[in-house]
Amino acid sequence: MILYTHERSFGCRIREYLYRGLRTVTMENELLRVSFLADKGSDIFEFIYKPKDIDFLWHSPWGVRNPAHYVATSHTPGSAFLDFYEGGWQDCFPTGGNPCEYQGQSFGAHGELPTLPWDYSILEDSPERISIRFRVRTCRTPFFVEKEVSLERGVPTLFISEEITNEGRIDLPVMWGQHPALGAPFIEAGCRIDLPAARIQCSQLSPVTRFAEGSSDWPHAVGRTGESLDLREVPGIEADTTDTLKLSNLAEGWYAVRNESLGVGFGMSWPLEVFPALWFWQAYGGAYTAPWYGRTYLIALEPFSTAQLTVADAIRDGSARLIRSGETLKASYVAVGFEGTTPVSSIAPDGHVRRSS
C-alpha cells in the first residue's frame, strides 16, 4: 500500500525516489542536504552545505552506476567496489582498503557493506527532526548492521549511530571504518586541515610519493629529499602525487577541513575507542593506474579501527577488533558543515565546532 501524504518544503524533510534505478533517500534541513543510495551500501553520495551551495564530497568520473545495468568485461579483486565507486562516503566492514583473504573467502576492496543493498525505514518525520534506520545482513560473514541517521532543524550536523552484531556462533576479528572522500570545488590548493596531536606513519608509499619512509608528529612529515612537509596545507593537482598515510595516537577523535577562500568547512567527530586510527588518502593528481588515470584530486580522512590496510594484516599484527558471538559493537559519530576561516580547535561529539582563540 502506498500512502500519499503532504510533502513538506520547510524544516526537516525526507524524499524517497529512484536515482538511476537505485532506491535513494534524501534528508534535508535549512542547512544540509544529505543523500543515501539505499540500494548500494547506503553510500552517502552528496553532502551539500546549502548556504554556500557546496557539496563537500568527491565524485568519480563515472558517477553513480546501477550494478543491474552493467556487465564487467572481467572480474578482478577490486572491481566489485571500484567499478561502481561513485565517490562519496562508504561504510567499510569487515575489512577495508585492499582486497584480501579472510575466513577462507576472498574479499574485495573495503569489504561487504559498500556493495550490498540495505533496507531502511523512517523512524521520525517532523519539521523539527528526521531519522532513518538502515539495516543489512552481510553475506560472507554473519553480521547484522543497523545504522540510524538523523538531522535536526537549523543544525548543520548529520548524527549517525551504528550497531554491528555478530549473529554467528564463533568470535570473529574484524576491521571497521568510514570512507568519506572530499573533492572539488570544496577541495582546492590552500585548503587547511585541523587535527589534534597525532603520530604520522609514512609506509607502503606509492612510486610517486612526496614522502620519505618513517614516522613523525603531526603536522610535519619528512619529504623525499629531506625537506619538512606541512600536512595542514592541501597542495594543488600540480603536486602530481598520491599516498595513503596512517595517523595513530590521536589525542582526540575529530578533524576539520577548511576552504578559507570559500569560507566553509567540513568536519567529523568520532569515538577513539572504536576508531583509534585515521587514514589520510591524498590523491593530488598522481594516481595513474586503472581506474584513475590521473583523474583524482581529492583527500579522504577516514576514521578506522586499525591502521592496517586489510583485516588480514590487522589479524597478523593484533590490531583487529574481536566481536564475540552474540556481541554488538556500537559507535555514534557526526559529520558537520560550518562557516568561517578561523582554525578549529576541536569538534565535540554533538557536532559543536570550537574555534582557536
Instruction: List pLDDT tens digits, range 309-327.
Output: 999 999 999 999 999 999 9
Does some domain include residue 7?
Answer: no
Q: Are 158 and 335 in contact (CB under 8 A)?
A: yes
pLDDT of residue 77: 86
E strand or H helix at 137 = strand 129-137
- Say yes or no to pLDDT of 1 above 80: no
- The CATH code of the domain that includes 299 is 2.70.98.10
* DSSP letters spanning 123-134: EEESSSEEEEEE
Residues near 275 by beta carbon (within 8 Å), at least 6 away in sequence: 176, 177, 178, 253, 303, 304, 305, 331, 333
Residue 81 grid cell: 567496489
Q: Write the pLDDT tens digit of every residue in 72-112.
A: 888 888 889 999 999 999 999 999 999 999 999 999 999 99
pLDDT over threshold 60, residue 113: yes
Please give the share of the chain, as a percent, with pLDDT higher than 70: 98
What's the total number of domains in the chain? 1
Q: How would DSSP label each residue in 272-325?
A: TTT--EEEEEEEEB---STTTTT--EEEEEEEES-SSSSHHHHHHHT-PEEE-T
CB 128 within 8 A of CB 11: yes
pLDDT of residue 271: 98
User: Within a domain: residue 181?
Assistant: yes
34 φ/ψ angles, rounded to the nearest 5 degrees:
-125, 125
Q: Is the pLDDT of residue 34 over 50?
A: yes
Confidence at 7, pLDDT banded by 50, 70, 90:
confident
Contacts with 12 (C-beta within 8 Å, 6 or more apart), sequence order: 27, 28, 29, 125, 126, 127, 128, 129, 130, 151, 152, 153
With cut-offs at 50, 70 and 90, classify the pLDDT of residue 265.
very high
At 4 the pLDDT is 53
pLDDT of residue 127: 97
CA atoms within 13 A on the CB side of 129: 7
C-alpha cell at 354: 570550537
Please check whether residue 261 lies inside any domain of the structure. yes
Burial of 72 (0-12, 13-18, 19+ CB in 10 A): exposed
Q: How many Cβ atoms from other residues are within 10 Å of residue 3's Cβ? A: 4
- Is the residue at 65 inside a domain? yes
Average pLDDT rounded to a whole number, residues 207-222: 97
Mean residue pLDDT across the chain? 96
> Residue 8 falls within a domain, yes or no?
no
Domain range holding 133? 13-355
Q: Which ranges constitute the DSSP H helices of the chain?
A: 79-82, 311-317
- pTM to 2 decimal places: 0.96
Residue 1 lies in a domain: no
| 4 in any annotated domain | no
2 within a domain of the structure (yes/no)? no
